[in-house]
Amino acid sequence: MVKVLDQKLPPLASRSTGNLAPVIRAASQAMVTAKMAHLRAAGFEGVTPAIASLIPLLRVEGVRPTMLAQRSGVTKQAMTQLVRELETRGYVERAIDPADARGSIIRLTPQGLALSQACAGALTALEDTAVAALGQQRLAQLQYDLAQLATALQPPKG
């Protein structure tokens, strides 16, 4: 399903460039909404955006909870709570880390792997929609520009 904007934008020079946040937020929310709709259509009812964002970071062979927290940008405490929810839903299981028996790893169950594959399908569908709406070249430029903007907005280190 491709949505095309019926409204023509004024030339760039006449548009305000003061506040990008609402536009970026709207695009982000639209992507999350589309991803969640895709997952519901694939039979995954009740999956939250937090779960849908975390599942692709997991692997069948497992990952340490601290690494998962770092990759997702949340605290270890928040990750512990989210992992408990994933365990309750049957998407992950805890196991002893084969590299260090003092630690544990979190790994996908077969149900979690199915959700991970559905998440990958949702991302492919989102990309297909973006290509259909913008074209490959404009989408690549948008991705580049947003990455540049994200880098420029990072606070100085030190």
Question: By three-state DSSP, how is residue 92 classified?
Answer: strand
CA 131/CA 135 separation, integer angstroms = 5
User: Could you read off the pLDDT of 121-149 as tens digits, one per residue?
Assistant: 999 999 999 999 999 999 999 999 999 99
150 in a structural domain: no
Give the domain range for residue 89.
47-135
Flag whether pLDDT at 47 surpasses 90. Answer: yes
Flag whether pLDDT at 99 surpasses 60. Answer: yes
129 in a structural domain: yes
Helix (H) or strand (E) holding 69: helix 65-72
- Is the pTM higher than 0.85? The answer reads no
Backbone phi, then psi, for 57, in 5-degree steps? -85, -10
Return the pLDDT at 8: 52
101 in a structural domain: yes
The per-residue b/e assignment along 114-138, b for 16 or more CB within 10 angstroms, e otherwise, is: bbbebbeebeebbeebbeeeeeeee
Q: Which residue has the tokens 């849908």?
A: 52
16 in a structural domain: no
Backbone phi, then psi, for 44, in 5-degree steps? -100, 80
Flag whether pLDDT at 88 surpasses 80. Answer: yes
Residue 58 — pLDDT band, cuts 50, 70, 90? Answer: very high
32 in a structural domain: no
Over residues 64-85, the mean pLDDT reads: 92
148 in a structural domain: no
Flag whether pLDDT at 4 surpasses 50. Answer: no
The structural domain count of the chain equals 1
CATH number of the CATH domain containing 107? 1.10.10.10
CA 68/CA 82 separation, integer angstroms = 11
